[in-house]
Amino acid sequence: MAADPVIPSRSPGARGTAMTWLSKLYVQVIIGMIVGGFIGYFSPHIGQSLMPLAEGFIKLIKMMIAPIVFCFVVTGICGAGDLKRAGRVAAKTIIYFEIVSTIAILIGLVLAYLLKPGAGMNINPAALDPSAVAAFGGKSAHVGNAVDFVLNIIPSTFLGAFAKGDILQILLLAVLLGVALQMLGERGKLVAGFIDDLSQVLFKVMGIIVRLAPIGVMGAIAFTTARFGIGTIQRLGALVAVYYLCCAVFIVVVLGTVMRLAGLSLWKFTKYFKDEILIAMGSSSSDAVMPVVMAKLRHMGIKSTTVGLVIPTGYSFNLDGFSIWLSLCVVFIAQATNTPLSLSDLALILGISLLTSKGAHGIPGSAIVVLAATLSAVPALPVVALTVVLAVDKLLGYVRIAVNLLGNCVGAVAIAAWEKDIDMPRARSVLDGHLEFRYDAEDNVSPEAFSSSPQN
């Protein structure tokens, strides 16, 4: 496309700066959020009709996740050179995620007991409408069933995993194919090369789709504001405030410590992913940014194998914001309904939360479904009381998704630093803004582009 002609102006510098600023994706997303909020508040009817914009954007992204993750993991394993190292990365990933998820749950439990957000509400479970939670009863029946969870990782057919878009099933297939291609040696290089070329095409497509994010976010925010309003904050403000505080403590203390141990700045790291965090929050879906997150982590100098194993696994095993939310809401409901919890009840909640949180990703209305499953496992707690939480779930969901996403990104850095799979000079250069990531740049998807040291 030809460049715009130069038009004389009294302040060309200011005009150029403004246009550069407006061209940034995160600025466009923020504008989309503001516009959507105004539409939803001042014209609720129009706001609710804009939800298809968000749904369309998320569907466009989700149709790309399965093939991109598959190609990413296969090419990463093929280029790893050592299958034992890949297995070691996978084992360390699970260990790290379990430790961090446990800490997240404990933060929710401790702060809920210290700050008591549900105290004084005196809710009578008998007065609540059970029909509001009836839809979640059947879905929660299999959540937390360890045997079903493991069996569901195995797809019925090879193509069935792609049709369902199940991340863990796709990850299993990618690992098997990547291992097989590496074992074939020279004979497998042709297929591996084709998959790598295909991944570059897929990321080009992602570069096109992601530019629609401001429109999708505008539709989602307009719908949410119109449907739920902002008055819910006043009714359950204590729960919202305590949850936000829990997340802040987790980010600053836990994730901040992990990043310091890795030798990088959490603040700079968060700024690097500001586009993706805003898109995930605005669209209420972390799936909407998974492929780009993986590309940006690799752009930082983290090896493809590590990124390909950590991020897809984290989407199912490391939902930090969700873990905090789950433990906080359980204690909140107990306080709001004046239901005493013993130490054995708390131990049961911790154990059940560690299991149920692993089945959250990919289930429609997963947060409420898993909360229902957790409450069902603790006989003293009335499941019907989760209707209280429904009123502010959307408000909590924005931050929940952001913390989930940031926690997985930090997890990738932690495992990479643990395995020495990160080019630290390049990572610092990227976070300092010297090596800019571009959504449509070929070097963001070529493995060779990440092997060299950065040029400052």
Question: Is residue 116, in this structure, part of any structural domain at all?
Answer: yes
The pLDDT score that the predictor gives to residue 360 is 53
The pLDDT score that the predictor gives to residue 287 is 75
Measured CA to CA, the distance from residue 313 to residue 239 in angstroms comes to 30
Measured CA to CA, the distance from residue 384 to residue 137 in angstroms comes to 10
The pLDDT score that the predictor gives to residue 8 is 46
Question: Is residue 13, in this structure, part of any structural domain at all?
Answer: no
The pLDDT score that the predictor gives to residue 51 is 81
Question: Is residue 3, in this structure, part of any structural domain at all?
Answer: no
Question: Is residue 12, in this structure, part of any structural domain at all?
Answer: no
Question: Is residue 429, in this structure, part of any structural domain at all?
Answer: yes
Amino acid at 456: N
Place of tokens 């609710």: 48
The pLDDT score that the predictor gives to residue 413 is 95
In this structure, are residues 323 and 101 in contact, taking their beta carbons and an 8 Å threshold? yes
Measured CA to CA, the distance from residue 378 to residue 370 in angstroms comes to 13
Closest by CA position to 74, among listed 307, 321, 254:
307
Measured CA to CA, the distance from residue 115 to residue 241 in angstroms comes to 10
Measured CA to CA, the distance from residue 255 to residue 248 in angstroms comes to 10
The dihedral sign for the CA sequence 334, 131, 404, 22: negative
Measured CA to CA, the distance from residue 188 to residue 413 in angstroms comes to 30
Question: Is residue 11, in this structure, part of any structural domain at all?
Answer: no
CA separation, residue 159 to residues 78, 124, 439 (Å): 21, 49, 28
Q: What is the pLDDT along the chain (456 residues), one digit of tens a residue?
A: 444 444 444 445 555 565 666 777 777 888 888 888 888 888 888 888 888 888 888 788 778 878 887 887 787 777 665 667 777 888 888 889 889 988 998 999 999 989 988 877 766 666 555 555 555 555 444 445 556 667 777 888 888 878 777 777 887 888 888 888 888 877 888 888 888 888 888 878 877 887 888 888 888 888 877 766 655 455 567 888 899 999 999 999 999 999 999 999 999 999 999 888 888 888 777 777 888 898 899 999 998 888 888 888 887 777 888 889 888 988 888 888 888 877 777 787 777 776 666 555 554 456 666 777 677 767 777 777 777 777 677 778 888 889 999 999 999 999 999 988 899 999 999 999 888 886 544 444 333 333 333 333
The structural domain count of the chain equals 1
249 Cβ contact list (under 8 Å, min separation 6): 107, 111
Q: What are phi and psi of 113, to 5 degrees?
A: -75, -35
The domain of 282 spans 25-445
Question: Is residue 19, in this structure, part of any structural domain at all?
Answer: no
Question: Is residue 98, in this structure, part of any structural domain at all?
Answer: yes
Tell if the pTM clears 0.75, that is, is over it. Answer: no
CATH number for the domain including 210? 1.10.3860.10
The pLDDT score that the predictor gives to residue 380 is 74
The pLDDT score that the predictor gives to residue 446 is 38
| 425, HSE (Cβ side, Cα atoms, 13 Å) | 6
DSSP for 39-77? HHHH-HHHHHHTHHHHHHHHHHHHHHHHHHHHHHHHHHH
